[in-house]
Amino acid sequence: MKTHWILGALAGLALAGSAQAATVYVGSYQVDGGEYWYNNSPVYSAAEAAALIFGGVASDYDISTVSNQIADINNMGWYTTWGITGGQQYNEDFKYDLGNDGYGNPGGSGSAISAYTWDNAQGPQYTNYVFRVDGAGGGIPEPATWAMMLVGVGMAGGTLRRSRRLRAVAA
């Protein structure tokens, strides 16, 4: 009975060691890759656009305006603003839609801001780099975790062997 508890505890420690969040670069998209604004396209945050393009949900992603390097993640995205030339940077979760009617409605300067609409932010300089954040495990355990698990299994095996010897001597 005691051995089962030890094995369970060791397995839990091994799993806990491998459950660290892993951040992986998955690709990029340009703001002007979205639907044309005149079609009254939906308004997306940079993270929502990533989920639309790469699958999953917005909270699965970190966005960067800098590069495809993990060290450069700035949690910002490039956006296009209705009626304003060029692109602007906002937090990766930001979006703005006056009246929630879509990018082209009601219209007027500054009435909608989206990270994935073909409008004013055109060209590769308005590229959002996308990183998937996996916090549910799936990471590769670190060498220290493997070593701890092997030591634990060895100790559990030794305990099991000793208890068998004691039972054999007592019989």
Divide the 171 residues of the chain into consecutive groups of 10 and give the mean pLDDT of each group. 51 51 93 94 97 96 97 97 95 92 86 96 98 69 72 76 72 66
Strand partners, 30: 127
pLDDT given for residue 31 in this prediction:
98
Query: For the chain, give me the number of helices (H) and strands (E)?
Result: 3, 9
Tokens standing for residue 149: 């698990």
Q: What are the residue ranges spanned by the domains of the chain?
A: 2-18+141-170, 22-134
Q: What is the pTM of this model?
A: 0.69
* Alpha helices for 46-106 (secondary structure H): 46-54
